[in-house]
Amino acid sequence: MDINAIGKLEYNDDCEFELHMDNGVIINITNILDDIYSPTSLKDSQVWVKIMKGEVILFDEDGALTRRVDKDGIESYFICGNNLDLEMFDHTEEFLEIVIKRGNMLKNGKIS
């Protein structure tokens, strides 16, 4: 599932990131990432994630979605060595635009 949505990012009691949109729709970002992640195939885990706060780009990476334990001992999603979960956690309770595009057609138009 690809998304391009604006809303308030929240961290729920199940330790999942949710984007709460003004129209009442809640998008579970963690579930989308879980569906994309493939522990056995980097090719199947290709994704582009962009997070913006207004005009400020907070995260903009494309590549394989990987999962590993970060420096704080927390299992987190990474793209190109950048900790996506930490970036989202640092911006919970803020209104953000989040773009997630799955597959081998990435942000720069190149096929992986």
pLDDT tens column, 23-81: 999 999 999 999 999 888 878 899 999 999 999 999 999 999 999 999 999 999 999 99
Give the tens place of pLDDT for each residue, 5-20. 999 999 999 999 999 9
Compute CA distances 61 → 23, 51, 86, 87, whole Å. 28, 9, 14, 12
Domain membership flag for residue 112? no
Q: Which domain holds residue 66?
A: 3-102
Antiparallel, parallel or unpaired: β 3-11 and 56-69: unpaired
Give the model's pLDDT for residue 1.
75
Answer whether 71's CB lies under 8 Å from 85's CB.
no
Domain membership flag for residue 24? yes
Number of domains in the chain: 1
Q: For residue 66, give both structure tokens.
A: 């990987």
Cβ contacts of 30 within 8 Å, gap of 6 or more: 15, 16, 17, 18
pTM exceeds 0.85 for this model: yes
